[in-house]
Amino acid sequence: MALKIKRKETVRHAVRRIGRRLAANALKSLRDCDTLEAVHEVRKDIKQARALLRLAQRDLKSRACRRVTKKLKKTASVLAPSRDAFVKASALAELTSHYKSDISGRGLEGIRRVLAKDCRKEQRKLPRDLKRSRRMLKKICRDFRSIDAASGGWKVIGPGIKRSYRAGRRANRLARKTDAPEDFHEWRKNAKDLRYQVTFLCGVWPEQMNALEAELDRLGDYLGDAHDLTVLTARETLKQLANQPREKIEMLKALAGRRQKELHTKALRLGAKLYHERSVSFCQRLHQYWRKWRHKIVGPAQATAQ
């Protein structure tokens, strides 16, 4: 319940409460953090906090919203090198496991060693980065205590939900048309925003919202795994691998491209289901759930949109 809007809670109180909880969760992860994998959890809390601000952005005081957003982005950027090092090593491990029967001999062992070395390097830098991140997250937690939003309900968050769904629907169509990794990544960001915002609304009608959240989460996994492969084969990564045999680099690129295509196909298939509604219809449906919940109307059919 901690990350869900409560039935009798104003949006202003919800933004302050959930924002502080997310910052506190990130701080706890940093205190317990001794691996690069834990950094990923911290960055996830930061993304959720940014999605929360976007949900009520129209009625947030712009200066306060920009200040907190800037601090969240800065904190995430401090941890980005550590997260990328972990992502590349993990993506390679998953890729070689997926295509185990297609890789002969020592396979991509040399590449694995290079990426593992980079992970250890980032691990040594981690205490310094964590110290900086802790300081910033404490400030963010204080900022959320005083952040201001309108005290209403659906009128405050409805436009944010509509904006996220519409942006994801457009990004889905563009990715389908261009098949470009950067367009799939943009779609992923929009889908993540909507997924987190649906999480905040899961109390509205748990059966329906939890099912939607699960499908958005699965879509995020497909798009996230595909993006990790883009990071794995990016120019900066290939520079790290400059001393590896050319045939191994070509094998890596070929397998990553093949797997990415599979993931994009799955994402597009699921996206066709999730984004089949127009944004107006999607928001009207969620508005019905909201009214039923806030007014304790029995049966979704009785919750007609205002």
> Do 12 and 142 have their domain in common?
yes
> Do 305 and 158 have their domain in common?
yes
Of 63, 50, 66, which is closest to residue 15 (Cα–Cα)?
A: 50
**Residue 91 in domain:** no
Domain count, the chain: 2
Domain end among 136, 152, 168: 152
> Do 144 and 241 have their domain in common?
no
Report the amino acid identity of residue 257: G
- pLDDT value of position 33: 67
- pLDDT value of position 234: 96
- pLDDT value of position 301: 43
> Do 213 and 135 have their domain in common?
no
- pLDDT value of position 65: 82
- pLDDT value of position 34: 64
Question: What sign has the CA pseudo-torsion 240, 96, 121, 127?
Answer: positive
| 292 contacts: CB under 8 Å, gap ≥ 6 | 204, 205, 299, 300, 302, 303
> Do 157 and 290 have their domain in common?
yes
Domain end among 152, 170, 200: 152
> Do 189 and 130 have their domain in common?
no
- pLDDT value of position 306: 36
> Do 178 and 79 have their domain in common?
no
- pLDDT value of position 150: 66
The CATH number assigned to the domain holding 137 equals 1.20.120
> Do 161 and 306 have their domain in common?
yes
Spans of the chain below 50 pLDDT? 298-306
- pLDDT value of position 259: 97
On whether the pTM is more than 0.85, the answer is yes
Domain end among 137, 152, 167: 152
**Residue 247 in domain:** yes
Q: Do 291 and 306 touch, CB atoms closer than 8 A?
A: yes
> Do 162 and 253 have their domain in common?
yes
**Residue 161 in domain:** yes
**Residue 144 in domain:** yes
**Residue 75 in domain:** yes
What domain range is 215 assigned to? 153-306
The distance in angstroms from the start CA to the end CA of the chain is: 27
pLDDT tens string 247-304: 999 999 999 999 999 999 999 999 999 999 999 999 999 999 999 998 875 444 444 3
Q: Half-sphere exposure (CA, 13 Å, Cβ side) for 37?
A: 3
> Do 221 and 278 have their domain in common?
yes
**Residue 132 in domain:** yes
> Do 281 and 245 have their domain in common?
yes
